[in-house]
Structure 1
C-alpha cells in the first residue's frame, strides 16, 4: 500500500478538480443577501476558512475554491504579526496547519502572533492537507481581496483579538485603502465578525459603514434588541441552537447565521428553519443542495452510519474505543481498502487493504490499536481524533473521489 501522504496528495489533487462541478452556478446575489431577515430565497453561503473540507484552510487556494464553488462569501480570520502586519490564519499556533516545526523547530508551539510578517511568509500552509497544495503561503488581507469578484465577497473574523492588540484599527486602516476595498464595500460584500463583543464594537465605531455580526449563543430578547442597535446579525452554533431562536432573532431585526454545517441533512434542516446564512466547509455541496442538484454525485453506496466518538472508558483503548462505522448501503460489493475518513480539522483515519464490503456489510474503523478482523480495522493511533461534542466526516476513495459527508 502506498504511503498515506502520497495517497492523500494524489487524492486531493484529483478531488479538487472532480468536485469543481459541484458549485459552478451562482447561488445568491448581493441584493438577496441584504434583504430583510428571513426573506431570502435561500440562505447565503459562506465558505468556512475558504473551502476547508476540500482544500487547505485559510489559503488562497481555499478562498478561490470557495468562490468557484459558488459561495457568496468566504470567511477569513485576521491576526497581527509581532511587527503589526495583518495576516490570515485561524489557529493560535502554526503547529497544526504549517511546517513551523521544520522551519522554526524551537518555536513550533509559540503563538503564531509572535512571528514577524517576514517569518510567516517562510511557512508552508498547504502541505498539511496534501502535496498538491505544497507551498501555499499564509495569505495577507490583500491576497484575499484579489480572490473576490462581483458575486463573492469576504467575511472577516477578528480572531482572538486579545492576542493582536490594535487589530481593529489596523483592519479599519486596511479597509480604508480604496484601491482594494472600495468596490467590495460599495457592493456590501464585506462583513466583519467576532466572538469578542468589545472588539467588534471597537471596529464598528471606526467603520460604521461595514456590517458587523456577533458570534455566540442566542441571548434573551432584551439583549437581542440591544444588539440590533449596532449589529446586523448574530452567528451561532447550529448544534446548540433552539429552532425557536430563528424567529426570535429575525423578529429583532437581525439576521441569524449558523456554523459549521457540513452534512446534507443539516444543510436542508437549517434551510427549512429559515436561517439567513449557512457557514460550511463544503460550499459546493451546499450550492448543489440549494440548486436541486445531487450534492454527492459520486456516491457509491459507502456511507458513515454511526460515529462512536465518546465510548465508555478511554476514547482510545486496545481493541476498543472510538470508531467510525462504514456501511455499504448500495447494491454491489465495494472494496473500501485505502478509503480516507477526514474530519473538519483534517484528522484522517484510513482503511487498510483487503476490505470488501458486500451490500449491507459494515466495517468499524477504529482510531486506536487492536487486532484487525473482517469487521474491524485499527489505525493504531495513541490519541483520540473524534470530537466528542460533534464534528463532521467526509469519505474519500483512494483516488480522491468524494463519496459521503456525515455530521454527528
Structure 2
C-alpha cells in the first residue's frame, strides 16, 4: 500500500519537477530554460541522507532528480553512503565498539544491514537502514526518479567502476526506458575516464573546478563539470558552455550544494544547467520567484 501511494504521488508531482529541467534543445542563456534541481543525497534536509526515506521525500516534494554516493563493503556489496566510515550516520560505534575506525570497506554487507542509519537524524527515522545500491535503484524505479550517482572514494575500491556499471546494466539502467535518467560523476578524473571508456554512451560528470584552460581535456570524457557554488562564476559557466562534450552537446554545469534562495538565484543567473541542494523545494521556490 505504501509503495503504491508513493508511486501515485510521484506520478502526480513529476509534472512540476519537469518544469525545472531544461529540454535537450534549450539554448544556453534562454531565460525559459531553468536549471534542473537535484535533491542532494535525497531530500537530505528533511530525511536522513542517502536513505530510502530521503528518496521518497524527494518524490513527495515533486523532484525527479536525486543524487547519491556509492561505496563497497568488505564482501563486495555496493552500498549507498557518503562517508568512508560509518560513524556519523549510523550507530556502528555502539553495535561494533571494537571495530574502530569503522570504515565501510572493513564491514560486510550483513553487518552494515544491522545498523541504524536514521536515529542520528531524528527519532521518527529510527531503524532506517543503509541501502544497497540495488535497493536504492529499485526505489528510484518505483518513484520514477532519475539518478546522479557519485562513485565515492574509488581509490579505496579497485574495480568499482566495472562493478557499478555491471549492476546498473543488470537493473536496466544503461538504456531503454532509462535513457536520460542517469549521470555518473566522481571527483576522481581517472575513475570517470574509466567509466567513459567502458560505457561511452553513458553521461558522465566531473566533480570539481578544473582551470578554464584544462576544460577541453575534461570535455573528452565528461559531459558535465560540477563545481561548488563557492568557486563558480558566470565566466566559468560560459567557458564550459563554449565547449562540446563527448556526446555533441555543450559541456554542462551542475553546481553544489545550494541551500539558500539568494545563492540559488545567483547561480541561476550564471546559466547553470543544474543546482544540487539539500533543500530542493527552497531552490524551486527561489527560481519560481525570479
Please report how far the alpha carbon of residue 117 of structure 1 lies from its aligned counterpart in structure 2 after TM superposition: 0.8
Matched, 1:236 2:227: yes
Cα pair 2:189 2:206 within 8 Å, conserved: yes
Please report how far the alpha carbon of residue 202 of structure 1 lies from its aligned counterpart in structure 2 after TM superposition: 0.8
Residue aligned with 2:71, SS: strand
1:219 maps to: 211
Please report how far the alpha carbon of residue 249 of structure 1 lies from its aligned counterpart in structure 2 after TM superposition: 0.8
Please report how far the alpha carbon of residue 217 of structure 1 lies from its aligned counterpart in structure 2 after TM superposition: 1.1
State how far apart, in whole Å, the 2-side matches of 1:79 and 1:265 are: 33
Residue aligned with 1:105, SS: coil
Residue aligned with 2:275, SS: strand
State how far apart, in whole Å, the 2-side matches of 1:265 and 1:234 are: 22
For residue 131 of structure 2, the aligned residue among 139, 145, 162 is 139
CA deviation map 1:311-369 (0-9, x unaligned)? xxxxxxxxxxxxxxxxxxxxxxxxxxxxxxxxxxxxxxxxxxxxxxxxxxxxxxxxxxx
Please report how far the alpha carbon of residue 77 of structure 1 lies from its aligned counterpart in structure 2 after TM superposition: 0.6
State how far apart, in whole Å, the 1-side matches of 2:222 and 2:27 are: 13
2:18 maps to: 28
| Bigger Rg, which one | 1
Matched, 1:247 2:247: no
Matched, 1:170 2:166: no
Cα pair 2:92 2:102 within 8 Å, conserved: no
Structure 1's unaligned 5+ residue stretches are 1-19, 294-408
Cα pair 1:94 1:112 within 8 Å, conserved: yes
Please report how far the alpha carbon of residue 205 of structure 1 lies from its aligned counterpart in structure 2 after TM superposition: 1.3
Cα pair 1:122 1:137 within 8 Å, conserved: yes
CA deviation map 1:183-236 (0-9, x unaligned)? 5532x1000000000011111111222100001114223x21222222111000
Matched, 1:115 2:120: no
Residue aligned with 1:202, SS: helix
Residue aligned with 1:74, SS: strand
Please report how far the alpha carbon of residue 278 of structure 1 lies from its aligned counterpart in structure 2 after TM superposition: 0.3
Cα RMSD for the two superposed structures? 2.3
Structure 2's unaligned 5+ residue stretches are 1-9, 244-249
State how far apart, in whole Å, the 1-side matches of 2:183 and 2:133 are: 14
Cα pair 2:234 2:271 within 8 Å, conserved: no
Q: Give every structure 1 segment of 4 or more consecutive aligned residues whose post-TM-superposition deviation is greater than 6 Å.
A: none
Q: May I ask how many residue pairs the two structures share in their alignment?
A: 270
Residue aligned with 2:264, SS: helix
For residue 193 of structure 1, the aligned residue among 181, 185, 188 is 185
Matched, 1:72 2:64: yes
Cα pair 2:21 2:35 within 8 Å, conserved: no
- Equivalences for 1:5-404 in 2 at 5 Å? 26-28=16-18, 32=22, 34-35=24-25, 38=28, 39=30, 41-148=33-140, 152-179=145-172, 182-183=175-176, 185-186=178-179, 188-221=180-213, 223-252=214-243, 253-292=250-289
CA deviation map 1:72-121 (0-9, x unaligned)? 31111111111111110000111111010111111242211111111111
Cα pair 2:71 2:84 within 8 Å, conserved: no
1:400 maps to: none
| Cα pair distance change 1:62/1:183, threshold 3 Å | farther
Residue aligned with 2:16, SS: coil
Please report how far the alpha carbon of residue 269 of structure 1 lies from its aligned counterpart in structure 2 after TM superposition: 0.9
TM-score normalized by structure 2? 0.86
Deviates more, 1:231-240 or 1:34-43: 34-43
State how far apart, in whole Å, the 2-side matches of 1:120 and 1:28 are: 35
| Cα pair distance change 1:242/1:218, threshold 3 Å | farther
Cα pair 1:153 1:184 within 8 Å, conserved: no
State how far apart, in whole Å, the 2-side matches of 1:37 and 1:282 are: 27
State how far apart, in whole Å, the 1-side matches of 2:53 and 2:25 are: 30
